[in-house]
Amino acid sequence: MTQVRFATVQDLFEAYPTARHEVGPADASLPSMDFLRATVGRRDWPSAVSFCAYLLPRRVAVAWGCRALRQMVDRFEPSADRAIRFAEAWVHEPDESHRSKALAAGNANDYNAPTTWLALAAGFSGGSVVPPEYDPVEAKPEQTAKAVRAAILIALCGLARDSRDQIMTACLEDGIQLARGEPRSSR
């Protein structure tokens, strides 16, 4: 079994101070996986999504966000489909070319669309976040997690009440498997 990236909630909060505000009240001494499972059990979707987005390494967080959005949204508009495909391309081949294409797609799309934030999440994974004609500006370490969080929380708002808990539980169980380094289960 693979070791979880941050053993405790406190370890995650120390690595990403901004997570404390986004996750909300938490017993920092709890093991990370116990806290995540508890938030899922309480159906505290904002806290669970936030914690999972920070818990996962950048590339895995973007992959999780893409998988979650594909569970949450039946069909994407063409520009949204293009944005998620750029994010997925970066996940499969995380080189500078794919990262900069995802960043450009994210910057060109509607900031109210969850797929825009996934493209930005990939774009914020490293390297400069400004056009090449400017002096480089590096993304902050938490920007990928923040963008994945935004994508999933925006999509959450569009879920029907009667299916919200089932879909979100499935999405977060996938995130828990990824955090543990377990292979994706077939659904």
CA torsion angle for 68, 40, 19, 174 (degrees, to 10)?
-30
Query: Quick check: 12 and 54 in contact, CB under 8 A?
Result: yes
d(CA 25, CA 3): 25
Look at phi and psi of residue 43 and say left if phi exceeds 0, alpha if psi is from -120 to 50, else beta: left
- Output phi, psi for 60, to 5 deg: -70, -40
pLDDT of 4 reads 85
| Residue 136 within a domain | yes
| Residue 130 within a domain | yes
pLDDT bracket for residue 1 (50, 70, 90): very low
pLDDT of 2 reads 57
pLDDT of 146 reads 98
Is residue 115 scored above 90 in pLDDT? Answer: yes
| Residue 176 within a domain | no
pLDDT bracket for residue 187 (50, 70, 90): very low
CA torsion angle for 16, 123, 175, 33 (degrees, to 10)?
-10
pLDDT of 66 reads 98
| Residue 144 within a domain | yes
d(CA 171, CA 126): 25
For the chain, what percentages of helix, strand and coil (3-state, to nearest 5) are there? Answer: 65, 0, 30
Q: Which domain holds residue 129?
A: 75-157
| Residue 3 within a domain | no
| Residue 106 within a domain | yes
Rounded to two decimals, what is the model's pTM? 0.95
Is residue 136 scored above 60 in pLDDT? Answer: yes
| Residue 121 within a domain | yes
Total domain count, the chain: 1
| Residue 151 within a domain | yes
